[in-house]
Every structure is written in structure tokens, then in C-alpha cells.
Amino acid sequence: MYWINTIIQGALVGGLYALFATGLSLMFGVMRIINLAHGDFIVLSAYLAVVVINCIGVNPLVALAVVVPLMFGVGYLLQRGLLNFTMGSDILPPLLVTFGLSVVIQNVLLELFSADSRRLQLPWLETASVRIGDQLAIGLMPTSVFVVAVIVIGGIEFMLYRTDLGRAFRATSDDPDTARLYGVNNRNIYALATAIALAVVSIAGVLFGIRTIFDPTIGPARLLYAFEVVIIGGLGSLWGTLAGGIILGVAQAIGAAFDPSWDTLAGHVVFLVVLLFRPRGLFPKTFDP
């Protein structure tokens, strides 16, 4: 029973990891941009929620209604005003610029909010659970996060394969020059991709902030998780990303069950094993080359 509990908890955390990874995967899939500031945008979203909660005194879930559109706008402007100018045949400029962004965001957050750890309070939901038997308790919050992850990923998959915007993303991903010839304005499409990516990131960031404490410097570690999830799941497939998240979450939970200090290590080990034996990930699909 103990192990079942461990695995379920791990799998539920995996939903959050999958959310971390989804934005990263989308930006890479559409634009081949590896956003090194991805983790810092997660943290930035959590701090934005802190500000919204302090200003208008709502609970974190209501704050999402402000943070998500805000980050969507940030993403659009970021791509249109900055990242679009870094794109070309060379993959180095976007890496350098997003790395720079990462440093800037961390330091701005440090300046504004100090290095103190924060947490988004959600009094009832964060502790509520459903008890199954006497050893198994399933938290409502982790379950909700997992459900949100499934809905978001399902929504993005639907968008990619069933809507004109999604087809524009896939066409641009396939061949940007040809897509332009058929009336696609790449710069706008790229901006929308980053906007959607950051909107997803903001959901992940707020849920993350409810789940655990955060401070301005923890972004890069979340980026690492996101990378691992994308690689484990296989590039280009968002359902694979969800599976990758679950695998990483379960690995960490099992590691932690042996010794609490092993949780991150166990995740990295599983990641390395996958990289070694299935370098294209467990569920490789496309919309990437």
C-alpha cells in the first residue's frame, strides 16, 4: 500500500512537471527556440500571483484569471519585440538572449521581493484529501493539478491538430518560408506561440506556487525538470510529455521513499537511462524534424 501511495503521489506531481514542459516543448516545436528563461518565467508567474493576491485580496486560483492573460501578453510582446530579432539559421542568438533574460528576471525578482521564500496560500484545498483505506490518501490539490495538466495538454493538442492556428504553427514549424508564401505572417504566428507557451507557463507557475515554497533563484531547476520531461517523453508529442512528467514524478517519489535526499537524484538517473537507451524519448512523434 505504501508503494501504491508513493507511485500515485509521484504520478500526480508529474502532471505539474508536464505543465512545466509543455510551454518549453511548444516554443521549441514551432520556432526551434530553446527558452533558457523558461524556469524563471514559471517563478515570475508565481510572483505575479503574489502581487495580484496582495493587491486585490483574492485566492490564488482567482489570481490565475489575471496572471494568465498577463503572461499571454508578455509572451506576445517578448516574441514580437525581442525574440523574433534573434531568429535565423543560427540557434545561438536565442539561447544567449533567453539566458540573459533568465539572469535579468532572477535579479529583478530578487530586488523586488528579496530572497525570502514565498508560498501562495490556498487554505482548504491544499490540505484536503480523499482517504481510500487507512494508508492511502489522495490530495485534492495534486489531483486538481493533474486534471488541469491533462486539460491544458488536451487543449493544446486540439489546437495544433484541429484549428487553423494550429495548422499555421505546424506549417511554420515545417517550413517557415513556404508558409509565408501561403499567407502566414510568421512573426505574428511566432508571437502567438510564445504567448500561448507563457500562458501555460503561468498556470504551471501559480499551481507550483500553491504546492511548494519558491524564491527568485529556483527557476533554473524547474527548467531542468522541464527539459528532462520533454526528453523522456519524446520531442514533439505533448501526450508523451505528460507521460514523461509522470515518469519523472514517480521516479522522484520512489527515490524520496528510500531517502528524502534522493528524490531529485532518482529523477536525473531515470532521465539519463532514457537518454542512454532511447535518445529520441519514449514516445517520439512529430511536429518537429
Closer residue to other proteins (CB): 166 or 220: 166
The nearest distance, CB 178 to other proteins, in angstroms, is 5
Grid cell 517578448 — which residue? 78
133 binds other proteins (CB under 8 A): no
180 binds other proteins (CB under 8 A): yes
Closer residue to other proteins (CB): 169 or 214: 169
Closer residue to other proteins (CB): 49 or 160: 160
- Selected range binding other proteins among 3-11, 131-139, 162-170, 267-275, rule: CB under 8 A: 162-170
CB atoms within 10 A of CB 221: 12
163 binds other proteins (CB under 8 A): yes
Residue of the chain from 111, 134, 164, 261 that contacts other proteins (CB under 8 A) = 164
Q: Which of 153, 276, 175, 203 is nearest to 46 (CA)?
A: 203
Burial 68-105 (b: 16+ CB within 10 A, else e): bebbbebbbebbbeebbebbeeeeeebeebbeebbeeb
Please, which residues bridge with residue 138 across strands? 130
CB atoms within 10 A of CB 205: 33
Closer residue to other proteins (CB): 98 or 186: 186
167 binds other proteins (CB under 8 A): yes
72 binds other proteins (CB under 8 A): no
Residue of the chain from 57, 182, 277, 279 that contacts other proteins (CB under 8 A) = 182
181 binds other proteins (CB under 8 A): yes
Coil, strand, or helix at residue 134?
A: coil
How far is residue 253 from each of residues 10, 140, 187, 223, 248, measured CA to CA in Å? Answer: 5, 18, 42, 19, 9
287 binds other proteins (CB under 8 A): yes
Cβ–Cβ < 8 Å for 253, 6: yes
Amino acid identity of 251? Answer: A
For other proteins (CB under 8 A), the number of binding residues is: 20
Residue of the chain from 54, 56, 178, 258 that contacts other proteins (CB under 8 A) = 178
